[in-house]
Structure 1
C-alpha cells in the first residue's frame, strides 16, 4: 500500500505497535528483510548484524509514522478494527500469502491464544474465518475480504465511492427549493461559497456547520486524501439534506472539489 509491500506494511504496523514497549528484538518474527527495507527507506531506526538477520528495533522515524498513520486510516475506513487487531491481521496476511504460494489447500495461519479477543474481532468483521474450540481459536484462515484489507485493494472501492457520492439526490423534495438570491455564486471558490453561506437567513448553528464542512472538504481535496474526502463529503451531504438554500450553494463547490481531488 502506498509504495510498501504487504510484508513491509506488516513490519511497519508491528514496529508502530511496539514502539513504546520493552520488546526490541524483532528477529524471531521471521521478516527481517522487511524491517531492513524500512530502515533503508528511513521509516524506522534499527540495528542489524552483517548477515542482516538480526533486527534490534530502536524507534519510529517521522516518515514511518506518517506512512503508518495514512495506511491505518485507510484500513480503518474499510474495516473499523482496533489497532491491535489490525497489527495481528497484517501479520497473519503475510503468513497466508507465503503459505498460499506453496500449498494447494486452505492455508491455515498461526494461532496466538493470548490474542483470542482480536481473532474474534477480526472474525466478526469478516477478515478471518475462525473455528473455535472451548472459546479459543483452533483453525484460522484469512478470508478474501481479509486479503483485500491487508493489501489495500479496497482503495479502488474508495475511488468508486467518491465518484458515486452525490449531494443532490438527498435533498427532500418537500423542502422549499427557493434559494436566497444573494446565495447565487458565479465564481465557485471556497471564499465565495463561505460568503454566500454567511448571507443566508438560516439558523446560525446550521450556517456554522455548513461553513466548517465545506472548508474541511476543500482541505481533504487539496491534500489528495481520498478516504478523508469521502468522509467529509458525506458530512456535506448530510447538512444539505436540511436546507435547499445550503444545497444550492454547496453543490457547485462539491463538483469543483471532486475535480480537484481526482485531477
Structure 2
C-alpha cells in the first residue's frame, strides 16, 4: 500500500509503440483506428481517478463494440511482447519504489496489474494510468475484480493518498514464541468511507497474515543481534536502536511492515528487557 507517481507516458505513445512493427492484421489497423477513443478514455480515467469515481467510469467510456479483442491484444501482443511496447511496459514497472509491490508493500513488482480489468474495460487495456506495478501474488489475487461501488474499490497507488501519519501498526503478543499482529489505525483526516476502503484492501490482499509471517522470520533472525545489544548497552539503547530502525524504514518507504514491527518492539517493555530470548 504505497503511493506512486502517475506514469508520464500517454496512451497515444503506448498505442504508437505497440503498432510500430505489428505484423498481425487486422489488429494494428483496428488499434490505430481506436487511438482517439483511447485518448478520450484516458482523459476520463484520469479525472475519475482524481475524483474517486472509477467505479462509475464504465458508463462514460467510448463504446468498445467489436474491437474488444483487438484492444486487449494491444496489451498482450504489443505492450508485453513487442520491443517498443516492452520499453513502455518496463518504464511503468520501474515506477515501483525499490521494486516493491505497491499493493502489498512487501513483494517484488515484476508485472503490471490492470486496476480496472482489461476484460471489462478493453478501451483501457494500454492506458498507463490503469497499469500498476505489482508482484505476481497480488496480480493473481486481484485477477479481474471490477468494483461495483466505491466501497468495493481497492486502493489505487496513483490516486489514493494515505497521508503522512502512521496508519499501519503492530502489536507484540508476548507468547512463546512471540508474534506480531498487524492492524490499520485510521489516519486523522480519513473519511469513514476511505477507512473502509483501506481496511478492505488490507483484508483483500491478506496483509495481516502476510506481514505476520514476514515478522516471524525477522524476529527469529534479529533476536541474537538484539540480545547482544541488550547485554552490552542495556534496554534503553536497544529501544533507541529499534526506534532509529523504524525511522529508517519510514524515511524510505513510509508505512512498512518492518517499520511497524520495530516500533512495536520498541514499545514492548517485555521485549527490550529480554523477551527476544524467549523467541
TM range (shorter): 0.3 to 0.5
| Normalised TM-score (structure 2) | 0.32
* Higher RCO (CA 8 Å, separation ≥ 6 residues): 2
| Normalised TM-score (structure 1) | 0.33
